[in-house]
A and B are shown apart, each in its own frame.
Chain A
Amino acid sequence: MSSSVGAQGAPIKSTGLHIGEPAPGVKKVDPIIVADGITRQFGGLMAVDVEHLEIPRGAITALIGPNGAGKTTLFNLLTGFDKPDSGTWTFDGESISGVPAFRVARKGQVRTFQLTKALGLLTVLDNMKLGAKGQSGESLSRAVFPWFWKKEEEAIEARAMELLARFKLDAKKDDYAASLSGGQRKLLEMARALMSEPTLVMLDEPMAGVNPALTQSLLDHILNLKIEGMTVLFVEHDMHMVRHIADWVVVMAEGKVVAEGDPHEVMANPAVIDAYLGSHHDQDLGDLDTAVVEAIKELADDDADDKQ
């Protein structure tokens, strides 16, 4: 853990990720995902309308924005779980537009879901083992002959136990995943995604519903992914967490990328305030959702902290 922590106990941030002024669609030095002209309409609603977006490799990028901004939809599109109306994108320099979800995952781009998908009536250990890629025992012709895959299975189990221990789920290995708490399921889903040894991990609200006591360890896990050389793209509403671990922040509102930048700059950006408060924020704050007001207050508080 120590290597990810700076002198004052804050994680070391990756910098110098972009080329030129930070603005929506800014070029990155070494992008892992490059997306162009992605649109997705639901009926009359333009859920996603992203002109150009690059995700920097080897860094932790946060995707933020108000509810309904299109973050999950963009995740679904990039991972092949949904088909866009237009647009192309590449992963690791290779075009993956229109590639089915399971192929995208095999290429090393693995995601988790906003609504956790633990496989309830499989044990925690089986959930983990399912994550491992390229298992020969998963082919029908070999499945009935255990001697083809016994060795491999043992290696997978060892790796699964190692990860489970790291996520403090090893004591639960023989329990049904359905018996885990909400937060533990989030952990399991993340650990399971890691079983596939991904290069890009996409987490949709990894902290939602997680007990604050678990939050810190989940943050550490995410920071660890970066140390191990993975790229992380995550959606999150908790601004403290975003500021704490993100190297880069992409802000979406009404389907569009409205701002990009490092976490400190981006939160001072008027476009972000607009995104969260709507363009009428100079009118009556009293009408606004109290949650939104809270979020903005948090940002202001954080900035005040930083200046001290």
Chain B
Amino acid sequence: MIDWLLLLSNAAQEIISPTTAAYALAALGLAIHFGFTGLLNFGQAGFMALGAYGFAIATLTFGLPVWGAILFGIAASIVFALILGVPTLRLRADYLAIVTIAAAEILRLLLTTNQFEPVTGSANGLQGYKGGFAALNPIPDGQYGFGPWVYNAYDWWVRLFGWTLVVLAALITWRLMKSPWGRVIKGIREDEDAVRALGKNVYFYKMQSLVIGGVFGSLAGMIFILPRAVVPSNYQTSLTFFIYAILLLGGAATVLGPIVGSVIFWVLLSFFSGFVARAVEAGWLPFMSSVQAGQLRFILVGAAIMLIVIYRPQGIFGNKKELAFVK
């Protein structure tokens, strides 16, 4: 028999999990790029990798304290944004897409290669960088929580830290998009030549947008590695596509959309994977091995997202009115 309560409780854990927070923050960065500015960044996985590796390498190799490691990761993503943006942001939108997808892959391969093994740990990645972060934990040792959400002090600290970053980033984004700066940004999405004709330095604004969204991606990468190790294979192009899925699910030009989208994505993923695994065990799916079942969850999540996109194409928080005018 299937233990439905366990399935639901596992799914409920995803609501506040640090991974959900990391994806939400990365999707928020992508909302700034794609949803608000119209920049096709297909390298968000690269920004996350830079945050993750930046933090870990700064801690392990350079011996920086936590705040220094965070700044190092942020700085790495800013440099990455500039490298991507300087040559491409003057060109047509699709060039950025090509360059970002390629750059993120190059970055991942550089992190995987044996050449830099002492620093990057190559395919095995890095661990042992959490000491400084754990030492900052203000929560006394012990188990806390209720229902499905019972965790130890470190796990709560990671969640507190991750979701605080998400909330701060959301507040900043919300403020920015309600400001005259946000008006210019949205104008650029609609027609950058029109905005240029009104005396705005479009290139500079696009660069600012790329940097802010990239920094959000980098911080997301840091949250992502706090409950696990740094492994290069986590930063494949598929990561970027999952984040796009989350963004479209929630609504591309919204602030709450990426956050709620991430929660829904992870709750669904957890529920389906739990369900499929149990169903195979229980013999409900005799034609399937448990390895195949592991893949099935992505198919089911894909189907669920397709349904949402078909029946609510503006995303959960998107404005229905906008759809009437999509070119």
Q: Do A and B come from one complex?
A: yes
Question: A residues engaging B (CB < 8 A)?
Answer: 79, 81, 100-103, 105-106, 110-113, 117-122, 126-127, 129-131, 133, 135, 137-140, 143-144, 146, 149, 153, 176, 178-179, 189, 192-193, 195-196
Determine if B167 is an interface residue (Cβ-Cβ < 8 Å).
Answer: no
Q: Which chain A residue has the least Cβ–Cβ distance from B186?
A: A122
A105 to B194, CA, bound (A): 11
Contacts of B178 in A (CB 8 A): 146
Q: Are A122 and B183 in contact (CB under 8 A)?
A: yes
CA distance A122 to B190 in the complex (A): 8
Contacting residues, chain A, for B198 (C-beta < 8 A): 102, 105, 110, 130-131, 192-193, 195-196
Interface members, chain B 32-73 (any A CB < 8 Å): none
The residue on A at minimum CB distance from B172 is: A144
24 A-B pairs, CB-CB below 8 angstroms?
A: A79-B197, A81-B196, A101-B197, A102-B200, A103-B199, A105-B198, A105-B199, A106-B199, A113-B193, A117-B191, A120-B327, A121-B186, A129-B180, A130-B198, A138-B180, A140-B181, A143-B182, A144-B176, A144-B179, A146-B179, A149-B180, A176-B321, A193-B197, A195-B198
The answer to whether A139 and B196 have CB atoms under 8 Å apart is no
Q: How far in angstroms is the closest Cβ of chain B from A99?
A: 12
- The residue of chain B having its C-beta at the shortest distance from the C-beta of A202 within the complex is B197
Contact A178 B180 (CB under 8 A): no
- Give 5 nearest A-B pairs by CB, closest first: A137-B180, A178-B325, A143-B181, A105-B199, A117-B194
CB distance from B251 to the nearest CB of A (A): 13
Distance in angstroms between the alpha carbons of A133 and B186 in the assembled complex: 17
* Most chain B CB neighbours (cut-off 10 Å) among A118, A127, A130, A189: A130
A121's partner among B182, B195, B202, B322 (CB-CB below 8 A) is B322
Q: Would B179 and A137 count as touching, CB distance under 8 A?
A: yes
Q: Give per-residue flags for B159-196: 1 if the beta carbon is below 8 A from chain A beta carbons, else 0.
A: 00000000000001001101111111011011101111
In the assembled complex, B10 has its CB within 8 A of some CB on chain A: no
**Chain B residues in 8 Å Cβ range of A195:** 198
The answer to whether B127 has its CB under 8 Å from any CB of chain A is no
Q: How distant is the Cα of A192 from the Cα of B194 in the complex, in angstroms?
A: 10
B237 CB–A CB distance under 8 Å: no
Beta-carbon contact of A120 and B190 below 8 Å: yes
Tell me if A101 and B182 are in contact (CB < 8 A).
Answer: no
| A119/B187 contact (C-beta < 8 A), A113-B197, A144-B172, A176-B322 known | yes
Cα-based distance from A286 to B199 in the complex (angstroms) = 48
Beyond A110-B198, A121-B322, 17 extra complex contacts between A and B, CB < 8 Å: A81-B193, A100-B201, A101-B193, A111-B197, A119-B186, A119-B190, A119-B191, A119-B195, A121-B190, A126-B183, A126-B187, A130-B195, A138-B180, A143-B181, A153-B180, A176-B321, A189-B194
Q: Which residue of chain A has the shortest Cβ distance to B188 in the bound complex?
A: A119
The docked-state distance in angstroms from the alpha carbon of A192 to that of B190 is 15
Given the known interface contacts A120-B327, A140-B208, A176-B321, the answer about A130 and B183 at a Cβ–Cβ threshold of 8 Å is yes
Contact of B181 among A101, A111, A129, A138 (CB under 8 A): A138
Q: Nearest residue in A to B177 (C-beta to C-beta)?
A: A143
In the complex, chain B residues whose CB is within 8 Å of the CB of A143: 175-176, 179-182
Bound complex: CA A119 to CA B164 (Å): 35
Complex CA distance for A111 and B197, rounded to whole angstroms: 6
State the CA gap A140–B201 with chains docked (Å).
13
| Cβ A130 vs Cβ B187 within 8 A | yes
Chain B nearest CB from A9 CB (Å) reads 34
Least distance between A288 CB and chain B CB atoms (Å): 35
* Beta-carbon contact of B194 and A113 below 8 Å: yes
Task: Please tell me if the beta carbons of A138 and B325 are within 8 angstroms of each other in the complex.
Answer: no
Minimal beta-carbon separation of B34 from chain A (angstroms): 14
Q: How far, in whole Å, are A66 and B301 apart by their CA atoms in the complex?
A: 58
Complex contact B181–A137 (CB within 8 A): yes
* Measured CA separation A241–B1 after assembly (Å): 82
Contact of A144 with B183 in the complex, beta carbons under 8 Å: no
User: Please, which residues of chain B bring their CB within 8 A of the CB of A137?
Assistant: 179-181
A105 to B193, CA, bound (A): 12
Q: Which chain B residues border A111 with CB–CB below 8 Å? A: 197
Cβ contacts under 8 Å, A117 to chain B: 191, 193-194, 197
> Which of the listed residues A133, A135, A196 has the most CB atoms from chain B within 10 Å of its own CB?
A135
Tell me, in angstroms, the Cα distance from A120 to B186 when the chains sit together.
10
Nearest B-chain residue to A76, judged by Cβ: B193
Q: A117-B193, A140-B208 are in contact. Are A102 and B179 (CB under 8 A)?
A: no
A178 neighbours in B (Cβ, 8 Å) = 324-325
**Contact between chains at A122 and B180 (CB < 8 Å):** no
List of A residues within 8 angstroms of B179 by Cβ: 137, 143-144, 146, 149
| Closest chain B residue to A146, Cβ basis | B179
Q: A129–B196 Cα gap in the complex (Å)?
A: 14
* Nearest CB in chain A to that of B173: its residue: A144
Report chain B residues within 8 Å CB of A138: 180-181, 183-184, 200
CB distance from B203 to the nearest CB of A (A): 8
How near does chain B come to A86, taking the closest CB pair, in angstroms?
Answer: 22
Give per-residue flags for B289-327: 1 if the beta carbon is below 8 A from chain A beta carbons, else 0. Answer: 000000000000000000000000000000001101101
